[in-house]
């Protein structure tokens, strides 16, 4: 796994916790130069200290990915040391913050979700594309969700925001492949993070952020273009794509009732 990561300049958004922080920790032993972006400066500093102790240099920026100008500015500053080789566009919101009411999400709620989960990815990737093309190499990793394959009844807009970045990643991969730039879209299922602790539903087949990060890094090493995991949720996504919609809709309603936590 050393070849894609050793001594590379790697940007990780959402680097203060969850999958982003675990990606940083697992990359640190490869003596990378890590640029971590997140909103929580205290947590970012903690992750930075761990990465430096493990052998990598590391800088942090406390920036919200919805701020396109601020993201572009910090990426430009980060590249005064060395050009970016790889970006993990991982920042996003989830958990209870993205759940819909019985009448769906409000327009403002929907806008907030899309600004973070969809535009946040685009804001984090776009400033790097010209450099990747000019150098004829680069790796983009977009962290989507298993919900990108089928709309979750409790979070229609969240599902749509993740579907959007999945399709964006597919199109970007086909656009940039002739220039030697690689794009991986990762679609994990439920992840055990503080953000998901207060969900009013159970999380079957959930994985730790550590396991999720390891699977994403393995996929990068193996040159994958898209991964969905764990296999149980990947199977559900595949099955739902081949059965009639009325059957899939009924199954989702049954699962919704079964997975609700007791009040």
CA contacts within 13 A on the Cβ side of 134:
7
Distance of alpha carbon 8 from alpha carbon 86, whole angstroms: 8
Helix, strand, coil percent values for the chain (each to nearest 5): 55, 20, 30
CA distances (Å), origin 213, targets 21, 88, 103, 145, 206: 9, 11, 35, 13, 13
Local structure of 260: helix, strand or coil:
strand
Task: Please report the pLDDT score of residue 195 as a whole number.
Answer: 66
Predicted structure pTM score: 0.90
Give the angle subtended at the CA of 160 by the CAs of 64 and 131, to the nearest 5°. 50
Q: 245: buried, middle or exposed (CB in 10 Å: 19+, 13-18, 0-12)?
A: exposed
**pLDDT value of residue 198:** 66
Residue 183's CB is within 10 A of a number of other CB atoms, namely 22
Element (H, E) at 59: strand 57-62
pLDDT of residue 111: 96
The DSSP symbol for 200 reads S
Q: Is 158 helix (H, G, I), strand (E, B) or coil?
A: helix
Report domain 9-238's class: alpha beta
Is the pLDDT at 255 greater than 70? The verdict is: no
What's the mean pLDDT when you consider all of the chain?
Answer: 91
Residues found in the chain: 263
Give the pLDDT band (50/70/90) at residue 11: very high
Predicted local distance difference test score (pLDDT) of residue 262:
52
DSSP 192: E
């Amino acid at each position: 796994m050393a070849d894609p990561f050793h001594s590379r300049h790697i940007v990780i958004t959402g680097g203060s916790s969850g999958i982003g922080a675990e990606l940083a920790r697992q990359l640190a032993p490869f003596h990378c130069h890590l640029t971590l972006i997140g909103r929580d400066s205290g947590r970012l500093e903690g992750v930075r200290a761990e990465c430096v102790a493990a052998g990598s240099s590391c800088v942090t920026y406390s920036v919200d990915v919805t701020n396109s100008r601020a993201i572009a500015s910090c990426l430009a500053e980060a590249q005064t040391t060395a050009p970016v080789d790889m970006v993990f566009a991982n920042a996003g919101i989830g958990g209870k913050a993205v759940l819909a009411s019985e009448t769906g999400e409000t327009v403002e709620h929907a806008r907030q979700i899309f600004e973070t989960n969809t535009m946040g990815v685009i804001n984090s990737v776009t400033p790097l594309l010209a450099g990747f093309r000019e150098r004829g190499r680069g790796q983009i990793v977009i962290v989507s969700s298993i919900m990108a394959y089928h709309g979750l009844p409790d979070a229609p807009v969240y599902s749509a925001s993740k579907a959007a970045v999945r399709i964006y990643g597919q199109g970007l991969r086909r656009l940039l492949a002739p220039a030697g730039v690689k794009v991986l879209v990762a679609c994990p299922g439920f992840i055990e993070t503080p953000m998901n602790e207060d969900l009013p539903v159970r999380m079957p087949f959930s994985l730790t952020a550590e396991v999720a990060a390891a699977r994403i890094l393995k996929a990068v090493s193996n040159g994958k273009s898209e991964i969905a995991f764990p296999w149980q949720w990947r199977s559900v996504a595949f099955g739902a794509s081949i059965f009639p919609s009325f059957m899939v809709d009924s199954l989702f309603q049954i699962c919704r009732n079964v997975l609700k936590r007791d009040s």
